[in-house]
Every structure is written in structure tokens, then in C-alpha cells.
Amino acid sequence: MTTPSDSALPAAHASDKAAPWPAYVTASVAWHAGAGLVAIAAPASWPWAVAAIAANHAALTAGGLWPRSRWLGSNWTRLPAHAAARREIAITIDDGPDPAVTPAVLDLLDAHGAKATFFCIGAEARAHPALCREIVRRGHSVQNHSDRHSHRFSLLGPKAMAREIAAAQASLADITGEAPLFFRAPAGLRNPFLAPVLQRLDLQLVSWTRRGFDTVRREPSNVLARLARGLAAGDILIAHDGNAARTDDGSPVLLGVLPGLLARARSLRLVAVTLPAASHPRGDDAVAPAGAAASASP
Ligand SMILES: [Zn+2]
């Protein structure tokens, strides 16, 4: 897996990118046109033209169903090289804010001097605006995870997809006072219409390096093992405060995972920072957590 270069960043600087679609999608459009022309010029070849288009659609669909793929556009699966050099990692926490879970998550992060990025759902943020503001007040970051977290998100057309993302963007900016710079698709699933929407809204797509499946796994030790296996500078980890699975005693799994994960990060001299802080090439606004080996050199 390659590390994103500085040129891949950051959302706030993305507006000067030339093309809304990556070369692969542009080539797909040309592929359709070429197949059509062949079918017109040589009508007997139409089954081949149809097969060529079907194969292309299958490849585009696969790219959308593979959360970490870059076929459909820029996609952070790791932090940029400059952040990895600073020994930074990003803990990202999705599907909140959730009043039953998020406050305890914030306390755990504070206790370990760590910062995190919360990919919030627009509708949940509107339901719990004070909690959303509290996330930011305590030095963390709120980013865009769509407005309703529809399980049909990857089936939406361009207009509906734009509405879904723009509505969350407007709500989150209004509530926190800071416009999100990053977007994560619900369940990581998308389609070729997403890239132009993100470009227009100056949002950078983020997936993850590793996930713990904490919406379905009920044992914190199991989730922790998945997240901590091979933990290294530049990793982006995904966990959940909203939609979190519960342990046998009813506790949200993330609360049993974070202490061990943050202790492991500290033992490796890794610093948990927000995505906006990690995106900064010079680290000027990187938040240095007190006592968390913030000054550790690579
Ligand atoms: Zn989600």
C-alpha cells in the first residue's frame, strides 16, 4: 500500500485539481463511446461491444464496493507521509454523536491525552448539537459521514448524493462553526458519482488502514487485536460510537477497546491526532497531546 503523497491533500487545497474524475473513470466513458462506435461500424460485433461495456461496469462497481480502492478517485487509506514521519496515527470514530456513548469516549481520550476524528451523521448532529460542539471544544474534529447514513448511499444518483453530503456539510458547519474537510461514505461504499461531489464541496474521501468491526464484534479483546495488529505510524483506524455493538454486560465495545489501544499507541511512541492536524504538512496546527510522546522523533 502506498502512502498518499502531500500532493494528494488536503481537502481544503483540492479545488485546484483539474478533473473531477480519475483517469480510470474518464477512460471508462471513452470505453463506452468506443464500444458504441464499433457496434455501429460493424453491427455483427455488437455482442462484443455489450460484453466490453458490461465488463467495464463490473469493474466500476467493484471499485465502489471495495472501500479502500482508489479506482473511483482520491481516497486516504493512510495518513500522508509527513504525518507518518511525525509518528502520527488517526483514530476515527463513526456514526455519532451518540449521547449514550460519545461522552464516555471523550473522557477516555482526555485521560490518555489523545485526539480523534468523529465522522458524524448530519441528522444525529442536529439531534445532539451540544454534544457535537463538545467534541470540538475538547480538541477533536467533526467530519462529514453523510446526512442520514442511508444503506442505499452507494446506489444514489449524482443529485441525491450531492444533497445527502451537502446537507450534512451545512449542518455540521453550522453547529460546530467549522466546515468539514473530510468525508467517509456510509459503510465505505460508493459509486462513480461521488468524486465530483466531493471535489465541488472541497472534501477529501477517507477510508481506513484497519478496522475492528466493532459494530458486530462483541468482545473488546477481539476488536482491539484487529486494530492493534501491526499498528504503525500513518495508520488510520476506524471505530464506532454510534451503532456500536454491546458487550455481554451491555457496555459499548469501543469503551473497552480505547484504553488498550491508546496504551499500545503510547508504547510505540505514536501520537493520536485529528485528520486536519495530520493533513498539515508542517504540523503547525497539529495538536500535541500532553504526555503522549508528542515530541518523539521518527
Ligand atoms: Zn458509518
pLDDT tens profile 102-124: 999 999 999 999 999 999 999 99
The protein residues having their C-beta less than 5 angstroms from ligand 1 (an ion) are: 94-95
What spacing in Å lies between the alpha carbon of 95 and ligand 1's midpoint? 5
Mean pLDDT of 153-173: 95
Residues 6+ apart with CB under 8 A from 49: 35, 36, 38, 39
Question: What's the distance, Cα to Cα, between the start and end of the chain in Å?
Answer: 20
What spacing in Å lies between the alpha carbon of 15 and ligand 1's midpoint? 26
What spacing in Å lies between the alpha carbon of 124 and ligand 1's midpoint? 12
Residue 53 has pLDDT above 90, yes or no: no
Core vs surface per residue 94-108: b (16+ CB within 10 A) or e = bbbbbeebbebbbeb
Distance CA(295)–CA(298), nearest Å, equals 10
What spacing in Å lies between the alpha carbon of 175 and ligand 1's midpoint? 20
pLDDT at 112: 96
* 258-278 pLDDT tens trace: 999 999 999 999 999 999 999
Distance CA(91)–CA(184), nearest Å, equals 13
What spacing in Å lies between the alpha carbon of 138 and ligand 1's midpoint? 22
What pairing do the DSSP bridges indicate for beta strands 204-205 and 236-240? unpaired
- Of 129 and 46, the one with more pLDDT: 129
What spacing in Å lies between the alpha carbon of 244 and ligand 1's midpoint? 10
pTM: 0.81
What spacing in Å lies between the alpha carbon of 187 and ligand 1's midpoint? 5
HSE-CB at 81 with a 13 A cutoff on CA atoms is 8
